[in-house]
Amino acid sequence: MSLTAIGLGLIIIGAGYGISRLAGSALESMARQPEISSKIQTAMIIAAALIEGVALFAIVVALMKG
């Protein structure tokens, strides 16, 4: 159980870092080029969904194991 919890914590750190980097860069580029912000937003959501997918996959595996 405790190992599973540590694993889950690591997943959250990784995914959180990834999504925060992504959101930060997306906001920066939106501020620089507001005219294409909708395109940047779509790309951001796709990438965020992919990162989130990996995190959720790991969480499901962790829940099934422990």
Partner 1 sequence: MRHIKQILLLIAIFFSLSTTYASDEHASESEEVFDPLVMIDHHIADSHEWHVISFTKSNGEEVHISMPLPVIVFYNGHLNIFMSSAFHHGEKVVKKGDDYFKLYHEKIYVTDEAGTIHYDEDHNVLNEKPWDFSITKNVGSMFLSAVLLLLLFIGAARRYGSEPKAPKGLQSFLEPLILFVRDDIGIAQIGKEKYERYMPYLLTVFFFIWINNLIGLVPFFPGGSNLTGNISVTMFLAIVTFLITNINGTKSYWGHIFWMPGVPVPIRILLSGIEFIGILTKPFALMIRLMANITAGHIIILSLFSLIFVMKSVAIAPVSILMSLMMFMLELLVAALQAYIFTLLSALFIGMAVHEEEH
Binding partner 1 (rule: CB under 8 A), the pick from 52, 62, 64, 66 is 52
Residue type at position 38: S
User: Does 23 engage in binding with partner 1 (CB under 8 A)?
Assistant: no
> CA 61 to CA 3: how far, in whole Å?
13
Choices 1-9, 16-24, 25-33, 52-60; region in contact with partner 1 by CB under 8 A: 52-60
Q: Which helix (H) or strand (E) holds 33?
A: none
DSSP alpha helix (H) spans, the chain: 2-32, 37-65
Q: Tell me which residues touch partner 1 (CB under 8 A).
A: 38, 42, 45-46, 49-50, 52-54, 56-57, 59-60
